[in-house]
């Protein structure tokens, strides 16, 4: 039982719809590695991963070894790719749990080889190449060293190669990165005498047509119903998450009365203030102060005053019927009104991803499918 009405409903039907849209765009020859890092972009990693697994995703991609281990603990047995930087002291758990790490350092390769030798089976790895992002990847000048180093490790199986776009808005730069990546992948395939799995495209790369047939695609934010403004008109996506709470209390204050810490907002004539049991410790961004709105009784209500850790106020003087217990929508649809994560991000001067992953762990994620709540929710 949830004792507080501040929750996030996760629509698994919308997730499956978005997955099918991505599958159609990817074409029949490109496997998918849905990205479920950062608690599935704030949606709840386990129900999301389980649903994608059942839907036929060839891979699942995470950022941390810990996330991969969590998937294994919940019975997900398919290929799991660890995109982020793994650490040498995690090597034994990576190998024993049959996770596939992305390798960018010689030290990680060495410890993985030793762990695989002790366990008695080779560990598949993917190398990440630096092609223009300037972050984790191996520089092309260092590749000959890595090739020789890996050839001396009998328990390392080079399975794939990957990189990340710096920007898909700069198509010239993106295509230059693809050229570097393709040349490197061909060199590695010749050196090791076998074809390698290749992946570079994320949501933006897919929507910009920057993938190649047969290459794995790593869709992220698109799975959850958003494109960061790319090709929105052409892509039928459905938001997966609805964030809601309920009015705790309604109070009428005299004109000029200070509302919230420091009295940043003063009640106006006819003000009625709805106290909402949600604050910045739930992930409501403080940059949303002074710009945010919620939906109450099918109408928009401005958030007023300074957000506190556990409480936020909304001005409902223009919604005379609103009362304690009424539903409040922060993200989602109520009546004819809708607030998207893109709208919230624009008002808070950030990006959709931050809005979603900032929703705190104390907000239960409640999965729904075919209109039915599944289980008791999770964080």
pLDDT one-digit tens code per residue, 167-189: 998 999 999 999 999 999 999 99
**pLDDT, averaged across the chain:** 95
Share of the chain above pLDDT 70, in %: 97
The domain that contains 163 carries what CATH number?
A: 3.20.20.10
Q: What is the mean pLDDT of residues 277-293?
A: 97
Q: Mark whether 198 and 264 lie in a shared domain.
A: no
Q: Are 37 and 63 in contact (CB under 8 A)?
A: yes
CA pair distance 131, 189, nearest whole angstrom? 18
Query: Is the pLDDT assigned to residue 230 strictly greater than 80?
Result: no
Q: Mark whether 198 and 261 lie in a shared domain.
A: no
pLDDT grade for 128, boundaries at 50, 70 and 90? very high
The domain that contains 313 carries what CATH number?
A: 2.40.37.10
pLDDT grade for 2, boundaries at 50, 70 and 90? low
Q: Mark whether 197 and 260 lie in a shared domain.
A: no
Share of the chain above pLDDT 90, in %: 93
- Whether residue 374 is contained in a domain is answered as no
CA pair distance 378, 290, nearest whole angstrom? 31
Q: Mark whether 264 and 323 lie in a shared domain.
A: yes
Domain boundary among the residues 224, 259, 282 is at 224
Q: Mark whether 161 and 26 lie in a shared domain.
A: yes
Domain boundary among the residues 306, 324, 339 is at 339
- Whether residue 126 is contained in a domain is answered as yes
C-alpha separations of 289 from 72, 293, 303, 314, 346 in Å: 40, 9, 7, 11, 12
Q: Mark whether 76 and 198 lie in a shared domain.
A: yes
- Whether residue 354 is contained in a domain is answered as no
Query: Is the pLDDT assigned to residue 1 strictly greater than 60?
Result: no
Residue 37 falls in the annotated catalytic set: yes
Three-state SS sequence of the chain: CCCCCCEEEEEHHHHHHHHHHHHHHHCCCCCECCECHHHHHHCCHHHHHHHHHHCCCCCEEECCHHHHHHHHHCCCCCCEEECCCCCHHHHHHHHHCCCEEEECCHHHHHHHHHHHHHHCCCEEEEEEECCCCCCCCECHHHHHHHHHHHHCCCCEEEEEEECCCCCCCCHHHHHHHHHHHHHHHHHHHHHHCCCCEEECCCHHHHHCCCCCCCCEECCCHHHHCCCCCCCHHHCCCCCCEEEEEECCEEEECCCCCEECHHHCEECCCCCEEEEECCCHHHCCCHHHCCCCEEEECCEEEEEECCCCCCCEEEECCCCCCCCCCCEEEEEEEECCEEECHHHHHHHHCCCHHHHHHCCCCCCCEEEEECCEECCCCEC
* Structural domain span for residue 299: 241-339
The one catalytic residue among 151, 175, 261, 349: 261
Question: How high is the pLDDT of residue 270?
Answer: 87
Q: Are 120 and 154 in contact (CB under 8 A)?
A: no
- Whether residue 315 is contained in a domain is answered as yes
- Cβ-in-10-Å burial (0-12, 13-18, 19+) of 2 comes to exposed
- Whether residue 190 is contained in a domain is answered as yes
- How many separate domains does the chain show? 2
Q: Mark whether 131 and 45 lie in a shared domain.
A: yes
Q: Mark whether 246 and 139 lie in a shared domain.
A: no
Domain boundary among the residues 198, 224, 250 is at 224
Question: How high is the pLDDT of residue 233?
Answer: 47
Question: How high is the pLDDT of residue 231?
Answer: 55
- Whether residue 379 is contained in a domain is answered as no
Residue 261 falls in the annotated catalytic set: yes
Question: How high is the pLDDT of residue 371?
Answer: 87
The one catalytic residue among 3, 37, 224, 226: 37
Q: Mark whether 217 and 284 lie in a shared domain.
A: no
- Whether residue 39 is contained in a domain is answered as yes
Q: Mark whether 203 and 248 lie in a shared domain.
A: no
- Whether residue 3 is contained in a domain is answered as no
Question: How high is the pLDDT of residue 3?
Answer: 75
Q: Mark whether 175 and 324 lie in a shared domain.
A: no
Q: Mark whether 319 and 182 lie in a shared domain.
A: no
């Amino acid at each position: 039982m949830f004792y507080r009405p501040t929750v996030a409903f996760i629509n698994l039907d919308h997730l499956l719809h978005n997955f099918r849209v991505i599958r159609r765009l990817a074409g029949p020859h490109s496997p998918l590695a849905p990205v479920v890092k950062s608690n599935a972009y704030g949606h709840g990693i386990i129900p999301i991963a389980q649903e994608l697994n059942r839907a036929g995703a060839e891979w699942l991609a995470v950022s941390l070894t810990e996330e991969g281990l969590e998937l294994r603990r919940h019975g997900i047995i398919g290929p799991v790719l660890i995109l982020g930087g793994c650490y040498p002291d995690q090597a034994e758990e990576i190998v024993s749990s049959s996770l596939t790490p992305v390798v960018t350092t010689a030290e990680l390769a060495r410890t993985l080889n030793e762990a695989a030798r002790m366990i008695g089976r080779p560990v598949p790895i993917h190398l990440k190449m630096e092609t223009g992002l300037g972050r984790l990847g191996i520089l092309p000048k260092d590749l000959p060293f890595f090739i020789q180093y890996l050839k001396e490790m009998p328990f390392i199986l080079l399975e794939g190669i990957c990189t990340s776009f710096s920007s898909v808005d700069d198509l010239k730069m993106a295509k230059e990165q693809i050229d570097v990546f393709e040349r490197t992948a061909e060199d590695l395939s010749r050196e090791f005498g076998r074809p390698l799995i290749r992946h570079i495209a994320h949501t933006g790369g897919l929507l910009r047509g920057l993938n190649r047939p047969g290459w794995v695609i790593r869709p992220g934010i698109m799975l959850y119903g958003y494109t960061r403004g790319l090709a929105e008109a052409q892509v039928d996506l459905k938001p997966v998450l609805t964030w809601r709470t309920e009015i705790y209390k309604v109070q009428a204050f005299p004109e000029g009365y200070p509302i919230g810490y420091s009295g940043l907002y003063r009640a106006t004539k006819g003000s009625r203030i709805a106290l909402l049991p949600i604050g910045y410790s739930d992930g409501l961004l403080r940059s949303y102060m002074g710009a945010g709105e919620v939906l109450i009784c099918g109408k928009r209500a401005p958030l007023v005053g300074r957000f506190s850790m556990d409480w936020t106020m909304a001005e409902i003087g223009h919604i005379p019927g609103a009362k304690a217990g009424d539903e409040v929508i922060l993200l989602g649809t109520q009546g004819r009104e809708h607030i998207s994560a893109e709208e919230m991000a624009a008002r808070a001067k950030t990006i959709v991803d931050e809005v979603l992953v900032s929703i705190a762990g104390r907000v239960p994620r409640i999965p729904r499918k075919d209109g039915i709540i599944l289980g008791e929710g999770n964080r």
